[in-house]
Structure 1
Amino acid sequence: MTGWLIPLAIVAAVAIALLFAPIRKILRKALNLIPALALFIIGLAAYVLWRPVNWLVARVPFLASASDRFAAGVERIGTRKTGLPAGDRAAFARDLWPEERYPFLYQEVPEDIRRPLWEDGKLVGGQDIPWMADRHFSAGLTKAAAQSGLAAALIALLAQPLLLLAWKGFASQSATAAPVVLEQFPGEAPAYVSGWDVWQTVAADFTATLFGGAITILGLLAAWLLIAVGVGILVAIAAIEHWRREASAPYEVLSKDAHVRWPFRAEAREIARAGYVRQVAHATDYLADAPLFHLGKGTGTLRVRGDMAAPCKGQTLALDGESLFQHLLVFGGTGDGKTTAILKPLLRQVFAEPECGAYITDAKGVLWHDAEKIAAAAGRSGDVLRIGTGTGDLGVNITASLAPSHVAAVLRSVLAQVGGAQGDTFWPDMAANLMRHALTVGRAYAATPEGEAEASRVHPSSLWWAYQTVLDEKRLQSACDAIGRANKACLEAMEDARKASDQEALLRQIDRMGVLSASDVAASFSYVTTTWKDMAKDTKTGITANISQLMDGFAGATALRERFLCGQDADTASLDAPLNGKIALVTLNTMEDGLPARLVAILLKTVLYREARRREATLKKQGGSPQSKPCVVMMDEVQELATVDPASGLSDATFWNVARSTGVAGVFATQTVAALTQAMGKDAAENFMQQARSKIFLRSEDQATVSYACWLAGEFERNRVFGEGQWESLDQRELISGWSPFAPVDDDAPPPDAGGARFYFKAARGFLDSAAIGSATAKPTYAPDMRFVPEATDQATQLAALSAQQQAAWRQEDRDRQYRSEGNAMAPAMTPADFIAMGRWHAYAHIQRAGIARQDVVALSHEF
């Protein structure tokens, strides 16, 4: 009756002890010692039996496939569950991240605009980073755990009989069995039994012994097998927990932004999310087939500094077709690589688009050499036409495409920029006005018999003819007289046509009268015959001096004058060619040929602007789109070529506001903001820079340029940290340590330390802490410092220990509060020091892409 009370009392005592946490913890540790000791013993045996066991497993098919069956069994267990444990990742993801809110998670996003799937230290949507640790619970891990468990089971199965034999060998048998006396009285002969009886007894005894031995052996084998299976399962669990802990450790360290940014930036994240959704929609919809023009590789600098739209390290920054039409402006000092690192690589990509035309011009007259080689490499030599004064170059009849008002606007702008009147616009205005009137008179004069006769040498509607008449009043008066005679003759011819009822002749004369007596001609005729003629001599001298400042240089530049200013059509090109897929290269060198070459280069681009506006009107009438025939206008040293007259609509101060609708994309390069401001004036320069929505800044020491770039980059919140093992953000952690929660994981690869006898010792140490598979949880920033908590031995020391624990908890709270509150401030994304430190072949880029600006310090690929 009392036999069963003792075990019952032991069970009751253990159950009561488990109700108390300290005792429960001690008991759990004590219980964990048993499997830990078993794992330690298995590890010792593995040093001897590891190779034989592996040899056996490799040659026995049943054992070789055991790990696969174990992994399949784990998978079958999962199929009886729902959601993520069952492997239904898609359904779980749609519950956690609804597709209507996060569509970019369910579609292919272009590589250059992909963003990391975290924000403010958490996963998109707010899931904690430690949750990602389970991605390492892979098929490879399960299979490796099964292999470790199988090896441990076989080692245990082999080790047990070996240990038994060893124990039997050491256990000595000191006594031998004494002979059995059947029956013998003193002085009498022994009694014998029959042989049959002996053999019958021996046989029965042997049979009983053999049966008992077999039962014993079978029992031992069953026990050994059961122990081996238990050891195998134990090792498999220990292996999974060991590898889970190793894989989870990096995920359990939270970055500071998860504490201080996530709770307080919901509205900013919502704006960023909505913008990104639209960007991806644009990039994958109507821009899906648009070409991408790569500019550089991101360094991840601005993402670390808080710009969540910035690219990651190594990610491409690129312009799409739409963004290219929002224009690109490049700043960079002499020799910093504007041409080799940006313009030439971009040209190579532009020329790879066969439908894309180009107009290339620069003040130094050298960019065309590179462009011609790049066009040849792209197989587009047949599309190239050179405009200049060299052999094989073509001229352009400038005034055939420009109205007198357009030419006058260019002259006025250039005169103001070269300081013809030391900042006073009176003289440039008067000079441009006189040239406008002279050109208007010249166009009417070209319709007279005298003008037609003169057109074979210098066309009366040309700029050079207008300049000559300004210098020679007799020539101007002669032209006016010829116009008067032509008007009179035209009126007489109209009267004769009416009388003769010759309708065709009448219409012809009416058209001619429209040229000779148009309102602008009448106004110009009146100006040159009265206002100019009666103007004070000193005023006239000042006006002609300003005109001569621009035009006199052409007297010695015969090729420039004859190809561009004389109004001749022989050996000329039309600047609608680059608007129709051709590549126009301006070879003029304003550094060598001076102001005349600069004026021609400015007039040429003004002609291009005019042709672009005409094409836009024509295509829109026909229902076409100018952007279907794009033209890239590339201007190096743009400050030397820019004009700012707002009245004409064809200056750089106004044209680029509407250039996108004409199908013209601008790529401009200059040295500094100061250079642009000096050439164009403050307001015009600011407007021009604003029209270029994408900008690249190479290394610069110009204060205005650096200040503008820093302003453009903006400010972002920084959450600086000061402790060891702490991180401001996941982006900072990835940049410095290379770790990312989304680093690639090979599902089939085993853990790095799988296999070998040493693993069992690692598993034994891990079992002392936990005998079950846990999950990753965020670690506190600071753990309580328990170094000064005394051991509790009596009531007094228990109170002291409690007080010390309280102080440790308060200290932890204070340090955590300090961690969260210090180091948080708005900081500029770019600083002046960055432009000095980033060196050559790097630049700060602010690039439009699918409706959102992306910015970073980028690494450039250069082409000498």
Structure 2
Amino acid sequence: MKIKSIVGTLMPIKSMLASSIEEARVLATRWDVPQANREGLFDAGNGQMLPLSKDLQDRQSRYILTSPDSRGRQYRVAGRMLAEDLGSGSTSVATPLLFGVLGVFAMLTTVLPRGLGVITGALALATLLLIRTATAPRKGWTFTAALFGLLLPVLAASSSRSALISLICFLPSCLMPLMYAWSEQRKRAKRLAIQGRKAGGEDGSALTSHVAARKAQAIAAAKDDSPLLPMGTSMGELTHRGDGFAADGGLPISISLKDLSTHMIIFGETGSGKTSTQLRPKIAQLMRLRKLGYVIGLLIADGKGALAGEHAGMIDFKNLNPKRQVVSLYQGLSSSDIARQHEENNMPAAGSSSGSEKTWNGMTAACCRPAIYMLEALVKHGLHDSNGEPWKWSLLCHDRLGKLFLAGEDRLDEIKHYWEQIAQLEGGVIDGLLEEAYLYSTQTVQALAPETRGSILANWTLWFAPYLSHPDLMRWAAADTGESVEACLHGSAVGLDISGSLYGQHSANLVVKFLKARVTSEMQRRAGCAGGDWEKVDPTASHCYLCLDEFQDIVTQADIDLVPKARSLGGVYIVATQTIESLLQASKNENSTNAMLASFLSRVALRTSPKTAKWMQEGIGMGRVPHRESDSTMVDFVRSVAKAYSAPIWDEGHPMARMLASFRRKLGGTHFKDHRIEGGGKGVFGDRLANDLVLVREMKEEPILELSQFATLTAETGVALVDIRRGGVPRRDYVRVVAPMFSIPEDLLDPNYVVRDLDAEDAITRKAAMEAALASEAERVTAEEQLSITHDEENNQPLAALLDAIRNPEATEIQEEK
């Protein structure tokens, strides 16, 4: 035990190992972001320890400043670590021992018998080779070890019998381990002192500006008990740009349900996978949460009209299809909502129409508003049209009433008759919007020239014809009640399955806009609840996630106005579009569209347009990006060879081609001269092979996102730039997204799903009605035959004929004479 204690005192390997580990921890710890202990907890301040979410556990050190010590002091890593420490490691602590081993073998060579001395001599030579390897590329220590550690002691011991002289000759060999270790430490200290003095570029706020935000992010994420929705795996590209909010490579990227409430927009050109890797997985994740008991609603729609249909058959999902359900376009909408939606649906985007087109659209809108105000009064009082049919709160009745307005004097009396009934039921007073409608229908529009009314009527037809262009759509246009689209605001999952390929893309998009308006209108009405507490006013109300594909085709002004405030009203937009240009092109006001886009705080960009990449770059913002420099160069092999073959000695058409060709052998064919290798250099060959140290010359403020890198990385299918909110703080990087989803997952399939066909049901209803009518007619004929009265034995007249004879005796006498 004493020997072990003495050895431990002379060679404190355990303490040295512990000191080395602590030094490595100080140098390599990512101190600018929260770090978890072995229990997975981090210090949130004020003595509070919270769990650190796995997707926020960044560990890759920046190697700029050491982690704070007990006093909060930090030092430059450049003053405590060399680049080779991170690469191949520093000099091994065992290397100095080789010099001692060499001395031992040298001593044994002199004292052992000749036979054994040969063996120890061979071992000494082998140790010398190990020293050469361990101290490479420097040759000086090998030569010194051979001279003072082997040759001098052996020669002195063999040629001198004086013990003092032998001791003196062995003394350098004994001191060589200490000399080597001291020399290496001194050389390292010099390098660190110079390197650390010159590396002063880290003294800036760029290294610490994100520290508080990242800590707040970790605290918010720890307190967020909402489920996490996985998005993929980080590639660690932005962290190399010095971005404090970027994720390390290999970490999962997730967004919580709470963070998703700040809305998400997904960009990707056709075939990039925005639907299969983003929208469908999000829908599946939300539907699974519904199965777990989370009360959330979904509205699924698509500018192509395909997304909702792809999810038909999903459990607890209502897919609204014109062939299978009846839905009213106007149900739940106010007259102002309807007039505004018609106007928006038909007014062209900014800068895309001529002045005359705007004029005619404006005059049509001027007719649309009074017509819907009057229709509202007709429905309110239960009035009937000239055919005895009740007026309904439907698009079809709106279309009929508008055409009555534009028919001119031919239908003026009918319009006045309606107004007389309305006035009577309104207590003899027509004011406000009704007065405006009355004056327009009886005076303003009647004063227009017939040609003008005809042009407005033609434009009116263009406005309303798309909704009436197919029997299935006609059914919805004529309905005043039907399935509830607004059920998505009360915990249901609803899909708008209006196929653009079947009904025409324009018609399908207009129908989707109207049905979506029903949802946005009710959501906006939540703002009027007392204290803004819409959940208290309506206990059945829930948050609703609007999953909209090809958003540019179905976006409305209501969406643009609603997105910035939808979070407080329980609405969450998850939209996908191809490019930023497609949204701006569909916009009627570019400024308001930009304001809406700024409200999408979580953004995903797959392969898309340069302008969209530029928008993502601006959204990520500026950063202090390290600018690296080195003496490294690259060899352009192709251009080098091409230049060589363009020389005259390779010109076969040259007048002196044969003589020039003879120079090729002297030049060595296509031999290339590199000034870095052949002459001009003062260093030895080993120095020329030394690796260049890459230096960060400055931390320059510039965009964090490189557009060239974006184009290169997103060219690969399955790679996206993700810039989301996590704990209310940005979290971003290039991500390998989740596997594409092309069908409904097995766990979400409804085993009891049955496809309903309204056409078949209508056919059955019509057949039953016809059979009932025929049966009724047959019963009537039978009853008449039983009640027949006989005037003579030859002619049996039924009761109907007898009654005719009583009413028209003259006609009966004439018939009898004939």
SS in 1 for 2:483: coil
Q: Hey, what does 1:396 align to over in structure 2?
A: 327
Alignment of 1:310-709 (within 5 A): 310-354=246-290, 355=294, 356-372=296-312, 376=314, 381=315, 383-391=316-324, 394-417=325-348, 425-451=358-384, 459-473=391-405, 478=414, 480-488=416-424, 491=427, 517=430, 519-563=432-476, 565-569=477-481, 572-594=482-504, 595-615=506-526, 617-618=528-529, 620=533, 623=536, 629-644=542-557, 651-681=558-588, 682-701=590-609, 703-709=610-616
| CA apart distance, 1:346 | 1.8
| CA apart distance, 1:424 | 5.2
Aligned CA distance change for structure 1 residues 67 and 98 (closer, same or farther; 3 Å): farther
Cα deviation 1:463-496 (Å, max 9, x = unaligned):
21111122234667535523422542664xxxxx
Q: Return the alpha-carbon distance in structure 2 between the equivalents of residues 308 and 622 of structure 1.
A: 38
Letter of the 2:732 partner, please give it: Q
Point out which structure has higher relative CO (alpha carbons under 8 A, 6+ apart).
1
Aligned CA distance change for structure 1 residues 672 and 111 (closer, same or farther; 3 Å): same
Q: Return the alpha-carbon distance in structure 1 between the equivalents of residues 312 and 175 of structure 2.
A: 74
Cα deviation 1:382-408 (Å, max 9, x = unaligned):
x211112133xx333232211111111
Q: Which runs of 5+ in 1 are unaligned?
A: 1-60, 171-232, 492-512, 645-650, 727-785, 790-814
SS in 1 for 2:245: coil
Q: Hey, what does 1:648 align to over in structure 2?
A: none
Q: Return the alpha-carbon distance in structure 2 between the equivalents of residues 250 and 580 of structure 1.
A: 69
Q: Return the alpha-carbon distance in structure 1 between the equivalents of residues 196 and 461 of structure 2.
A: 69
Q: Return the alpha-carbon distance in structure 1 between the equivalents of residues 218 and 401 of structure 2.
A: 61
Aligned CA distance change for structure 1 residues 821 and 520 (closer, same or farther; 3 Å): same
Q: Is the 8 A contact 1:696 1:846 kept in 2?
A: yes
Q: Hey, what does 1:279 align to over in structure 2?
A: 217
| CA apart distance, 1:319 | 2.5
Q: Return the alpha-carbon distance in structure 2 between the equivalents of residues 423 and 683 of structure 1.
A: 25
| CA apart distance, 1:553 | 3.1
SS in 2 for 1:271: coil
Q: Hey, what does 2:736 align to over in structure 1?
A: 859
Q: Hey, what does 2:55 align to over in structure 1?
A: 112
Q: In structure 2, which of residues 727, 736, 750 is the aligned counterpart of residue 850 of structure 1?
A: 727
Aligned CA distance change for structure 1 residues 310 and 823 (closer, same or farther; 3 Å): closer
Q: Return the alpha-carbon distance in structure 1 between the equivalents of residues 737 and 720 of structure 2.
A: 7
| CA apart distance, 1:305 | 2.0
Q: Is the 8 A contact 2:393 2:480 kept in 1?
A: no
Aligned-residue CA RMSD (Å): 5.5
Cα deviation 1:518-560 (Å, max 9, x = unaligned):
6322332232222222233333233322221121233331211
Q: In structure 2, which of residues 694, 702, 705 is the aligned counterpart of residue 829 of structure 1?
A: 705
Q: Return the alpha-carbon distance in structure 2 between the equivalents of residues 89 and 836 of structure 1.
A: 36
Q: Is the 8 A contact 1:307 1:716 kept in 2?
A: yes
Aligned CA distance change for structure 1 residues 581 and 169 (closer, same or farther; 3 Å): closer
Alignment of 1:784-795 (within 5 A): none
Q: Is the 8 A contact 1:441 1:480 kept in 2?
A: no
Cα deviation 1:800-849 (Å, max 9, x = unaligned):
xxxxxxxxxxxxxxx99x96658967466221563255313322222222
| CA apart distance, 1:664 | 0.9
Letter of the 1:519 partner, please give it: G
Q: Hey, what does 1:723 align to over in structure 2?
A: 630
Q: Return the alpha-carbon distance in structure 2 between the equivalents of residues 553 and 168 of structure 1.
A: 109
Q: Return the alpha-carbon distance in structure 2 between the equivalents of residues 340 and 606 of structure 1.
A: 27
Aligned CA distance change for structure 1 residues 342 and 157 (closer, same or farther; 3 Å): same
* Equivalences, count: 598
Q: Matched residues, percent identical?
A: 19
SS in 1 for 2:560: coil
Q: Is the 8 A contact 2:79 2:196 kept in 1?
A: no
Aligned CA distance change for structure 1 residues 262 and 482 (closer, same or farther; 3 Å): same
Q: Return the alpha-carbon distance in structure 1 between the equivalents of residues 67 and 544 of structure 2.
A: 41
Letter of the 1:658 partner, please give it: K
Report the TM-score, using the length of structure 2 for normalisation. 0.61
Q: Is the 8 A contact 1:115 1:309 kept in 2?
A: no
Letter of the 1:276 partner, please give it: R
Q: Hey, what does 1:289 align to over in structure 2?
A: 225
Q: Return the alpha-carbon distance in structure 2 between the equivalents of residues 86 and 698 of structure 1.
A: 42
Q: Hey, what does 2:799 align to over in structure 1?
A: none
Letter of the 2:213 partner, please give it: G
Q: Return the alpha-carbon distance in structure 1 between the equivalents of residues 222 and 375 of structure 2.
A: 55
Aligned CA distance change for structure 1 residues 824 and 445 (closer, same or farther; 3 Å): closer
Cα deviation 1:709-762 (Å, max 9, x = unaligned):
333343434444343799xxxxxxxxxxxxxxxxxxxxxxxxxxxxxxxxxxxx
Q: Return the alpha-carbon distance in structure 2 between the equivalents of residues 675 and 282 of structure 1.
A: 35
Q: In structure 2, which of residues 242, 254, 273 is the aligned counterpart of residue 306 of structure 1?
A: 242
Q: Return the alpha-carbon distance in structure 2 between the equivalents of residues 388 and 251 of structure 1.
A: 73
Q: Is the 8 A contact 1:420 1:427 kept in 2?
A: no
Q: Return the alpha-carbon distance in structure 1 between the equivalents of residues 544 and 730 of structure 2.
A: 23
Q: Which runs of 5+ in 2 are unaligned?
A: 36-41, 69-73, 118-173, 634-680, 685-691, 743-818
Aligned CA distance change for structure 1 residues 481 and 343 (closer, same or farther; 3 Å): same
Letter of the 1:366 partner, please give it: A
Q: Hey, what does 1:129 align to over in structure 2?
A: 77
